[in-house]
Every structure is written in structure tokens, then in C-alpha cells.
Structure 1
């Protein structure tokens, strides 16, 4: 079964310095039909205005991935990491037993456009951690490149969650397939452009939830950048998670 989640149906918030679209319930956007998908809890498409950003704040017991589409994202945290995240790079922050961090757009004249992704971890109270790796356009062109997984295979970022994340670029005749264990779930998010997901047309901001589908086929892309998740069937831990996403 494939269920589409259209871009226009997402939650939306405009704070002036930040414009955000929420694929799942987050902060003031509450939708009981969209609380997450398996152990994927948050996909926020954020645009941060020049010279602004998220001040220092805390998280715990969450795997947080930042994926920059345009501009740069400055990161600083309480375990001593500081970096600038650029397009094509994947940043994973394990909040574990608790971490403080800030994310900032230091550019004077360029908006930072990125995806903020939260996954429920396999275990609570782990040591907080950070990892960041670049993945070239060539690695993703006409293919689904593994960029994050529990075993960090093929050079992927290591996830402390039962999930895998792939990124692909598709245009024209380029296409890719990925097989799934039908006991698990999958989620496809179109970051930009347009593409067909198992024959269904999606455009930027759209997503597809896959349940019981043995195979994913991406085809007929038009300057498309696509993110695919292979996910555990995990229930949302409502109390702990709700407290964080309400901030």
C-alpha cells in the first residue's frame, strides 16, 4: 500500500526568521493522523533567514539528522563539536542522555534551506554523539546512495536507530530500485524537483508512505532530489517525544 502525503497538506509556520513545513506533528501543528511513520518522527523543511538561527536548546533520546539543500548551517553543541554543514553533507547528532546545541545561518545575504529529521533511537540514555560526512552528487546520480544506517556500511553515517536513509538524484531516464522487507515500513520524501514513486507522480515537498511494498522504483525525474527511509515499525513514545516537539 502506498499513501501519498502532499506538500500542501503539511503543517506550516512562519516566524519571520524561520519558515518551516512540518510533515508530521510538531510544535503548534498537531495532527493525530500524522504523528510519524514507524520510528521516523520529524521531517521539517526549514528556511532560516540570513544572520539568524536556533539559539542554544536541549534534546534527549533522539537521533537528529540535518541535510542541507541550499546555503550553510552552522552547528555548535555542548560536547565540543562545531562545524558548518554544506549541501550534500549529512550531519547526525545523537541526543542520548542530553545535549545542548545551536544551529545558525551566518550568511549575510543567503537563506539556509535544510531538512531537520528526527528518528527514535533503539536505546535511551546513550552517550551523546556527533558525526558529519559529505556525499557527492556523483554518488547519488541515478542511484540511491546509503548515507545513514546502524552498521555504517558503505561509508554511511552511523545511526543509533533501526533505520536506513538513502539519497538520490534523478533526471530524465535515470531511475533506481530498492527492495524492502515487507515487515518494515518505508518513507519517500521529495526534497526538490519531481519524480514518480512506483508510478505515482510527486513534486517537491510531497511524500509517500509505503507499507507492505516489496520494492520501490523511482523514475521520470525532473531535477529531483529524493530521500528514502527504510524504517522499523516502532510506536511513537508519546510523552517524551511530545515534550520535545512542542518546543
Structure 2
């Protein structure tokens, strides 16, 4: 397969370069600087600020703690994660393929706990909102694996109205892409499950933005014991193994990013597309 994005710059972010901490109850990898791990080369990418790949043991989790002025969301890869917070949303349990979302805004407290018998494996992601001081909000979505095996499925997209959204638009929380969760950023998240030998195509910007210049971060979670592998844009130096990510820069809305599964097992790929 030949590369079609000759103008784009693709830089792999290898799993071994991530921050890592094992607290016993939590085994966590940080793609960007987080907690006690700081690397000046990995602070943010566009609006993407945090991408942690977490495994939490049964009957353990994150106790109640505060956040503000970030868009915070979790994508569950296996197991179940129960969320409680101070937005009058008492409890929500999400499982495989689900996503839960919080606008921290002026301030929230929340807790995430694994009440199940098996570990929960999920991605915790933070995005920088287009403005501070937003009203806190919670949302969640369920997205079928069968749909993700047919192509990339958009999970998050910008709130209609953008940075100048009215109070009515904020209350309606309607996203630009129907069926997704509305986020307060020029940011689209999608996920796909690609069979070996197959390839998916991501339209940069998700057809949801007027911003021409984009940044795309691609992440391949550690779900198949090392048997999953993908190649970006047909490039031999764009091959990602489990735990790896890639910075795709100098790319424009409407460009087509081809992700090819070249491993022994199907690859679950997460695309984070930001201005």
C-alpha cells in the first residue's frame, strides 16, 4: 500500500517511552506528562492533554477527588467501571466499548471504581476545553463492537455552537456529529476494530470542523497480548505495536488517513483528532 499523505509528518510514540507506575491496585501508562512523571517532549498535542492506559484491580479504584477546567472521559476496553460524581449523577456503570464523559468546568468531584470480579482496562483521556469556567456536565455512550468492525465510529465531537454556544445549546448538549457525545473543544474521538489484513480510512476532522489545520493522535491499546499491529499511511516507519501511539502533524481537514491491520489479531485503534 502506497502512502497518500506525503505532506503529513508521522512520528511514532513508542510504548516504552511512556511513563509507567504500578501501584498494586492500579497499573498505569502515561502517553503524556501526568502525576509524578514529566517529559517535556510529551506535554500535550493540540487540545489532547492526557492519555493514560489504566488497569484497575477488582474491588478497587480512584476515590473521590476534584477536577476543574478539563474535559475528562474514559473508554472501557474490558471489564466494568462505575462512576459517581457531584453533578447529581449518582452512579453509572460502563462496560466494554462504552465511554463516559465529564465536563469538569467550574469544579467537580468524582470517583471511579471497579466493583467487578475482574480487572477493568480503560483509557483515561483529558482534553483542554475552548474556554474555562464551563458548567459541569456528565454524559455517557454505548457503541457496538460490530459497528467498529465495519469502520471507524465517532464517539465524541464538538458541541454545536462552539465556543460561542448559547445557554440553550449548552443545555441541549447536541454534538456536531449525531450519535456522539458533545465536547467543549474542536476535538473528535473515534474507535475502530480492524481485522488482520484489512484497513480503515479516517477522514481528518471527522467532517465536523471548519479548522483546516489538524493534529491527529493514533493509539493502539494493549488488548491482544502483543499480537495486534497497525501501519499508518502505508509507511514502514509508521508501524505501531500494542501500547504505541503516533503523532500525525501537518495534516488538513478532509485528508484521508489509512490505518492498516498488519498483525496476527484484530487491532482496536483509537483516533484523537484535534485542532
Q: Distance in 2 between matches of 1:8 and 1:209?
A: 16
Q: What corresponds to 1:74 in structure 2?
A: 82
Higher strand share: 1
Q: Give unpaired runs (5+ residues) of structure 2.
A: 1-8, 160-174, 206-211
The DSSP-based 3-state class of the residue aligned with 1:184 is strand
Q: What corresponds to 2:56 in structure 1?
A: 48
Match of 2:242 among 200, 204, 212: 204
Q: What corresponds to 1:86 in structure 2?
A: 95
| Greater alpha carbon shift after TM alignment, 184-193 vs 69-78 | 184-193
Q: Distance in 1 between matches of 2:157 and 2:261?
A: 27
State the shift of 1:13 in Å. Answer: 0.5
Of the two, which has the highest radius of gyration?
2
Q: How many residues align?
A: 231
Q: What corresponds to 1:230 in structure 2?
A: 273
Q: Distance in 1 between matches of 2:115 and 2:99?
A: 19
Could you tell me the TM-score, scaled by structure 2's length? 0.81
Match of 2:204 among 180, 199, 203: 180
The DSSP-based 3-state class of the residue aligned with 1:126 is coil
The DSSP-based 3-state class of the residue aligned with 1:8 is helix
Contact 1:187–1:207 (Cα < 8 Å) also in 2: yes
State the shift of 1:220 in Å. Answer: 2.6
Q: Distance in 2 between matches of 1:120 and 1:11?
A: 20
Cα root mean square deviation, aligned = 1.3
Could you tell me the TM-score, scaled by structure 1's length? 0.90
Q: Does 1:217 align with 2:258?
A: yes
State the shift of 1:116 in Å. Answer: 0.2
| Greater alpha carbon shift after TM alignment, 68-77 vs 148-157 | 148-157
Q: Deviations over 1:208-229 (max 9, x none)?
A: 1011133310113431000101
Q: Distance in 2 between matches of 1:128 and 1:154?
A: 22
